[in-house]
Amino acid sequence: MKLQYGWVIVGAGIVITCIGFGTALSLGVFLQPMALATGWSRAAISSAAMIDFLCMGVASLFWGAMSDRFGTRLVVISGGALLGAGLIAASRVTSIEQFLFAFAFVGVAAGSFYAPLTAATTRWFVQHRSLAVAMVSAGIGLGSTTIAPLARWLITSYDWRTALFVLGVVAWVLIVGAGLLLRRPPAQTAAASAAGGDREFTVAQALSTPQFAAIAGTHFACCVAHSGPIFHMVTEAIDCGVAPMAAATVIGVAGLASVGGRVVCGLFADRFGAKQVLLTGLAVQAAAISLYLVVHDLGAFYALSVMFGMAYGGIMPLYATLVREYFGARIMGTVFGAVAMLSTIGMAVGPWAGGWIYDHLGGYFWLYVASCAIGLGAIAIALSFRPPEAPVALRPSLAAGD
């Protein structure tokens, strides 16, 4: 049986999101060794994650619009080149200001991956669309599973500067190489993908709908809720007495579980609808965050990482499915880029807030309390989802001047 090229797009997308987001999410592994080696505070180093995600968010809208206009291949290759340069620059810094500046470029680069690749993937599929999008998103979970332990091993064997340099070279080789495999779907595939569900929204119309506000607001609150616990889980485990190398595997377990969550939720969304699966996943995520208040040993951290990873991983690709179902494929890169922009601003809040809470309150207790509350707020926003009505065209009588 001939392989549909869309699955090649999915495979390339997995590699690209794995490296692109794995490098950003692995910054938590660098937190303690960098603080010890440089004397910089945890809040200052955590600010790099905040800047990273803020820049990623702003860039997502730009890169999404560029992918709609010029194609995903050019956007992704450009982002891969910039990501490698940013990581290598970060490995050579001598001050916290320089480090934050370098990670601004890392964030701009990372914004070129998820929204463009998700939009490209939806255009290749009529059936199994949610599953295909979920598999591309699974690369983010694989990034946590592979890049964080690799970075920890490099730090242990060499130092944090060498680790960042190696990650930059890996980004150049793998992202640019995988980006060369990307292509636009044939006309008949694109037409079949667009048939039957696309509404003729303009970008301005889409961004002004209550449905866009609901999707973006839920995604924002969801990311605020889980970003802090994800970023600080390694440091929390170390503070509880877990050995540093073992603690680094905690985030790897969460990342691996998130891969399974993405695939399972993608299958369920194709069958039961994205909204119902999203609501369930948000509820499980909030419950998992609350349980961080009571875990203290490695076995408990592993068990909770599975639950938490399945939840936050499973719900992430569902936002793209909702955008595609509500607003169509033609402007999806731009609209989902706008959703991603707001969500990555949410991702920026959690790491910085966790560092501030730790430095000022001596622990992460209030991080988990606040994150759980915000996760429950995401459920409330998600309940407001309603299918949008197509923009109303002028009635013939009005067009005729009656």
> For residue 215, what are the domain limits?
5-385
Answer whether residue 396 is part of any domain: no
DSSP alpha helix (H) spans, 316-384: 318-327, 332-361, 365-382
Q: Is residue 390 part of a domain?
A: no
CB 363 within 8 A of CB 356: no
Query: Domains in the chain: how many in total?
Result: 1
Q: Is residue 51 a contact partner of residue 104, using CB atoms and an 8 Å limit?
A: yes
Could you tell me if residue 402 is inside a domain?
no
Q: Which has the closest alpha carbon to 34: 256, 235, 322?
A: 235
Q: Report the CATH number at residue 108.
A: 1.20.1250.20
For the residues of 109-170, what is the DSSP string, one character each?
HHTTTHHHHHHHHHHH-SSSHHHHHHHHHHHHHHHHHHHHHHHHHHHHHS-HHHHHHHHHHH
Q: Give the rounded percent of residues in the chain with a pLDDT score beyond 70.
A: 91
Say which range, 107-111, 137-141, 160-164, 263-267, has the weakest mean pLDDT: 137-141
Would you say residue 304 lies in a domain?
yes
More confident residue, 50 or 78: 78
Q: For 267-312, how does the pLDDT look when each residue is reduced to its tens digit (9 = 90+)?
A: 888 888 888 999 999 999 999 999 999 998 899 999 999 999 999 9
Q: Is residue 395 part of a domain?
A: no
Please report whether residue 325 resides in a domain.
yes
Evaluate whether residue 171 is within a structural domain. Answer: yes
Residue 398 lies in a domain: no
Confidence of residue 158 (pLDDT cuts 50, 70, 90): very high
pLDDT of 376 reads: 96
- Whether 79 shows a pLDDT value over 70: the answer reads yes
